Amino acid sequence: MSRDPRVDAYIARQADFARPILEHLRTAVHAACPEVEEAIKWGMPAFLLKGRPLANMAAFKAHASFGFWRARDVLGDASLDGAMGQFGRLTSIADLPPRERLDALIRAAAEKAAEGPAPRPRKPPKPELPVPEELRAALDAEPRAAETFEAFPPSCRREYVEWVSEAKRPETRAKRVAQAVEWMTEGKRRNWKYEGC
């Protein structure tokens, strides 16, 4: 059992009502997941599994809290009382689920922690912007610039298109088109000055 003396010190500093809750939670986590490690993260006790966050607990003036890192995967969208953690404001051990249920939840959270972080949802790619007529005409007149523009990834093309499109005055737009064509003829991206800094 990997116990961190900083967690012992944290529990010892807490109010009389909180110490039994924190000890109960600590014992339950170690019993359900013997390979768990303890640490102090963000000023409160945290439980880690192979270096990955599993759960944390904390005590406050009038309540304690306990929560899983991948709570949505373990408990669904349920949340209680708006308090930190998924079990609401804990004022006694009786506020926690029965030990069997708590152990099952800890084991489920350990399985999720062992899987690693939840995959982030992929953002859909941004649609291509229409190339302003002035820029298209200038690219057609300079084949090397057009070739560079077409070889760019969509994000680089978008930077040039947005830069030209954002110009409010015709003189500014013409100046930007000329500069863009010059840079693209040299094979440069819109923000080439900042690359490799």
Q: Reduce the secondary structure of the chain to three states and give it as a string.
A: CCCCHHHHHHHHCCCCCHHHHHHHHHHHHHHHCCCCEEEEECCEEEEEECCEEEEEEEECCCCEEEEECCHHHHHCCCCCCCCCCCCCCECCHHHCCCHHHHHHHHHHHHHHHHHCCCCCCCCCCCCCCCCCHHHHHHHHHCHHHHHHHHHCCHHHHHHHHHHHHCCCCHHHHHHHHHHHHHHHHCCCCCCHHHCCC
Q: Which of 34-48, 70-84, 129-143 has the lowest mean pLDDT?
A: 70-84
pLDDT of residue 83: 56
pLDDT classification of 70: cutoffs 50, 70, 90: confident
Average pLDDT of the chain is 89
Q: Which CATH architecture has domain 5-115?
A: Alpha-Beta Complex (3.90)
Domain layout of the chain by residue ranges: 5-115, 133-194
Identify the band that residue 197 occupies on the pLDDT scale cut at 50, 70 and 90.
very low
